[in-house]
Structure formats: C-alpha cells, structure tokens
Structure 1
C-alpha cells in the first residue's frame, strides 16, 4: 500500500489516498463484522456538493443508535431504503430484536479510526449522529459530556468532510438560555444555554454551519423539542417526565413529577420526530435557507398532559416533588418553538396534537405491558 499526499500551497485542504491496493473491502452484513486496512485521513474541500440524493439508495450509519431515537429512525429508513442500507451502532449490547432487525456494529464516537473504518468499509453516504449525553446526566458528569458531545462531534465532522457525507446532527430546545425569547423562540436569536448539553449543541450548530460555508459540507441540524416515545426508557433529559407519566399512569395510576405543574415546554410525538428527520434529510439542498431549524408540534405543561390522560384514566393521581436542577433547566428553555422557516422551506407539518399523542402513548404502553405479562 502506497500513501500519497497531495496539497495545494497555502490551502488547508489536502488529500491522502492509496495506490496499488487490490484488496476488496467486504460489505457489512447482518451477521458479520468487517476487517480491512484503515485509510489515512484525508481533507478535501467540497466545491460542488450534490443538490439532491443520488438515484441509488443512501447508505446510512446511525451513531448512538440504542438511545431514544435511533432504533425507530432506523426502522423508518430501512422501510424506505432497504434493511442492509442502514447500520445502527452504539457502545452497548443491542437486544435480540434490534440485532436481528438489521445491521448493527459497535462504534465509539471517541474512536476516530473505528468510525473511519465503518464509513469506508460500508460505503456510508449519510451519517446520523445521535451520540450525546442529555441535559440532566450531562450536568452530573460534565467531563464525560464534554468528551462525548464535543470531541465525538469533532470526530464525526472530520469524517463527514473527508468522505463527503450528508451529516445530520440533532440539536435541542436546550440550545437556548434564559436570555433567549421563550414564547415563541425563533430560529435565530440569542443563545446562552446554562447546561453543558446546551453549550455542546450550540457548538455543534455553529461549527457545522462553519464547515458548510467554508468547505461545502452538507451539514443539517434540527432543534428537537422534548420527544415522547413509548419504545425506550427515559434517558436523563429534563423533558423525560412526559414519557414516564404514561408508564406510571398505566402501571400504578400515580405519578410524581419533578417539574412545577405550570412548566410549559415544547414536545413532539416520536413519529413526528422521525418523519421530520427523514423529510429534512431528503430535502434538496437548494430549498434550505438555513442549516439549523426549529421544529415544533405541541406545547404543554405537566398539569395539561395529566388532565388529558385523566380523560382515559380518571383515577390518575399526580404529585409534585421539584428537582431544583431540572426545574432551573426547564425555566431557561423555550415555551414554544417558532418553526415557520421549516414549514416554508421544506414543508414541515406535525401530525400529532396533544389528544392524539396521549391516546397513542397510552395504547402503546398498554400493548407493551400485555406483551411483557
């Protein structure tokens, strides 16, 4: 293997590539793991990124795939592009159901070489970067949050640039702070978050947009509201009360909330979240006036969602034991999102109102309970 470096004088862009290598790189299979030579890092400026997805299906790698969002998005992508074109990854062991549903690999976002191998060996064209420590967990371990949320992001950005990938990195309502307009919060405004999670997401938004404008990286970012899903356990976020209340309502008919009853936050059913992500990834680049968009759906308080649940479970009892850390975080976040730019540019429109969200969540939680019994 011969390594050659080509670099224009005075340019930050450089290219390294291999000549004379006749080894064929195996494609990722559901029941195999790939081993091959690791290419050296390359840095190229993308002068003319494609405006639309190529006619062939994208090859997608999802990092942090065993969190709240990865498995569901993989299911949606596989339905559209084929099972073997979407690879889930994480540092945890997947369930048998997840492992058998399509390709899964171990991937640590702090291991640059491993990520590079996965992208090249599997001909990845889209990278969805879900690996992150959420708000409350991040505050409990700031050093780890810095490594995962910032160093991991830098690894992903470099690999996406080097391999001309379409890169999706989610942001959050936590990217705003107490000095941001809260009701509604626009796409462009003051952002001064007070959590390491929020700071890392503002960093992701800005450096991703910088890579786009300077190098042509096809960087895309959505600011998610609180995501409501019955498929996974709460992961340490401030909005997770809005997931746990459904499980407790079905199982014990009692719920202790760590936020004040009047704490309004933007929320979204996970199906809307997955659909928004897919539609945004598919949107032609020429339609996008921004690289980071708010997306909204519903906005409610703990007492409002509890009242809606009582229309199905009248005996639900809710108490409030405030968590000072999470309450202070929630008080610095948007109450509602202004997502008019997403609606205008690429046609975003949510499907679930609060009554529809509550009905679907209760149905899903009850189905899970019956399956487990």
Structure 2
C-alpha cells in the first residue's frame, strides 16, 4: 500500500516526521506499507536547509511540487494541478494530510476527485472563526476525509456534530508532541542566551504574526507598550516573523529589555521556551508545546482551535484587546498562573497508534 504523506510548511514536516519514522520501523519488521513524502512547496523557507532535516532526522521529500507563493486561490490551484499530475502518473492508495495549511485542503480535493482515500491528521479541530483561512481549510478537508485522526475528545465532538461516522474517527493524540518529546533532550542553547546573559525564568519569549495583531501599526505598538510596562524587569526575547518585522521597521520601537532576533531553529526556540517564565504568542502550535512543557502561555487571540490547552493545559486566551494584558501579567508575576496538566494521549506515542490504523486499513 502506497501512502502519500503531504507537507507544505515547516510545521507540517515536524508533524509527519514521527509518522515516517514509525512506518520505516514497521517496514524493517516486514510491513507492506510504503510512503512517498510530497512537499508542495507552499512555503519557501530559507531555514528549510539540510540542517533543518538533519537536526530533526526528517527525511528529505521524494517529490517537491514547487507551487510557490501567490494569492489563496492561486496557490490552491497550483497545488491541486501539480498534485493531480503526480497522482495520474503514479497514483497512491491513501493521501495523508496534516494540520490546516492550504496544501492540506488542496491535496485532499485533488486526491478525492481521483477516488483516492484521504486521511487527516489533526482532524476536527475548530476555531469557529471563518475569517481565518485555516478554518476553511479544516472544514473543507474534513468534509471529504475518510479517516479522521484526532488530538482530543473536543475534536471528536466537532466531527460528530458535523455528521461524521464515529467508526471513521481515531483518537490517537498529537504528533507534534511526539516530535517535541523525542527531541527535548537535544534542545540547543541559542547564541542569544550568552549574549544577553539570560537565566532560567528570567525572561519572556514572544511571537506574533497574525494579520489582525500585527498589520495595524497602532495595534502592535499598543500591545508592545502594555507588555513592556507590565513585565517588571524581565527581558523579552522576540524571534520576529518577517511579516511583523516589516511593521516594526515602520514604528521604530526600541526598548532596552526588548530583544528582536531572527527566527530560530526548532531546537533553539524550544530551548528558550522551556527555560522561560512564560510565552506570549498568537500561535496555535506553540500553545501545545507550552502545555506539555508546563510553561505559562498568554495567547493574544479571541478564539482557539486547541481549547484543551486552555481547559487542561497552561494556556489562557487573553484576547486581542491590549487592555487585557496588564492583569494577565500581574497574575503571572505574582505566581498565580495555574499549573495545568497534559492532555490525554499527548504522550509521544501518537505515531505508532496512527500506523496501527493504517496497517489495519
């Protein structure tokens, strides 16, 4: 059985890597499962170098569709056309997609129209915010998926409410946590650690990239003022997204406790997270990692597709009003942030559970 494993961006490779490792392990024991790793080329990232694949032991793609950038429609169309061509030349039996990027939706549609079964890892997660392109990608993908691999019981409830047959839903856990736990002992101290004389719990890590938060100069500036004014004497380490960097260049904000850096490698960034007092972010994936590492997380969003990180973990939705930041930081600095627990099956063994199902199929 040939399975196409689709990845379109760096986080996708981190999600599929443990699945590939498990398939290779089963192959050595006689399993008939074969895979083809397909990189759609949705995101070109200069950090997608040999070092990236070697650091995390991620195999290089078998195929790169080189779809490149463009509008939502342009990118979707290019991925669909090129993936369809690949399938017509050499079809697979199952297309396995992960997460919620454009590649996830586009390859699912192309496969399904050729009567190829679709498996979705991280199925069923919802923000219920249709202003997010990712939410549309999730909904469309799940509407044509055959096998749903879920990270939480909340995802199961979402799928059942949408009319999905319960027999097609498999609660397996979270492959991002497989990657995190496998590499946790290998986290690397970044150069900024010694350059700024950082110490454990003596700083905050910050990331911000969502258009609603960073595209308006006054909004971003107000966020930063509130964070700087209410974070005591903590340094703020901000590996800055290119989108955010363009706005920062225009507002010209400088502060002796604010340290902007280039985006970091996975091992370096998570070293900083694990040793931080807290993380301030508008990312979804980071809230999963902070939950497992027990690090307080302040999320600058009004909704989340990962509610378990708030209900069980260390994450809290602060919202997108800068006025919500001071009281949240006050609770953090006074030691009143809740400890949190790790969600069920976020144990580093998700990939074996997924491959068990694939072998049954």
- TM-score of the two chains, using structure 1 as the length reference: 0.38
Say which structure is richer in helix.
2
- TM-score of the two chains, using structure 2 as the length reference: 0.39
Larger radius of gyration: 1
